[in-house]
């Protein structure tokens, strides 16, 4: 994936990644929520709900989510590091700019004083 240098582009990229993950996770979560609501309406007198997934299905789902989250974390770290480095470089340059501006101002004042 190409590295981005603009914070706005970086933010858009992260939002795209988040949207992609949510598009993957939301249908399953919505389906589970609908199932739970239906079960609650139908089984209010039976007590606790039981999950319809067996251990193998749960393990597979958890592994898949963990793998996806690990990949997103690595992608995020690759994207954040260049942006952080760029911000740090800008912070280091700021004192130099301020010193240069002070020097320019003092030279202008000296020239003005010499001209009068």
The answer for residues whose C-beta is within 8 angstroms of residue 75's C-beta and 6 or more apart is 1, 17
Report yes or no on 106 lying in a domain. no
By residue range, what is the domain housing residue 74? Answer: 8-91
Q: How confident is the model at residue 46 (pLDDT cuts 50, 70, 90)?
A: low
Instruction: For residue 87, tell me if it sits in a domain.
Output: yes
Which pLDDT value is given to residue 111?
87
Q: Is residue 3 part of a domain?
A: no
pTM here is: 0.31
Average pLDDT over residues 60-76: 88
What confidence tier does 43 reach under pLDDT thresholds 50, 70, 90?
low
Question: Is 69 a domain residue?
Answer: yes
In angstroms, rounded to a whole number, what is the distance separating the alpha carbons of residues 71 and 75?
6
**Is residue 18 predicted with pLDDT exceeding 60?**
yes
Residue 36 located in a structural domain: yes
Q: Could you give the number of structural domains in the chain?
A: 1
Query: Has residue 68 been placed in a domain?
Result: yes
């Amino acid at each position: 994936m190409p590295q981005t240098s603009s914070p706005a582009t970086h933010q858009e990229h992260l939002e795209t990644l988040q949207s992609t993950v949510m598009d993957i996770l939301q249908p399953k979560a919505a389906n589970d929520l609908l199932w739970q609501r239906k079960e609650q309406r139908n089984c209010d007198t039976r007590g606790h709900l039981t999950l319809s997934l067996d251990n193998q299905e749960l393990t597979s789902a958890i592994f898949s989510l963990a793998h996806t989250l690990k990949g997103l974390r690595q992608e995020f770290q690759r994207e954040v590091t260049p942006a952080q480095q760029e911000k740090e470089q800008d912070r280091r340059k700021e004192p130099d700019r301020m010193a240069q501006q002070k020097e320019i101002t003092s030279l202008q004042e000296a020239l003005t004083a010499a001209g009068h």
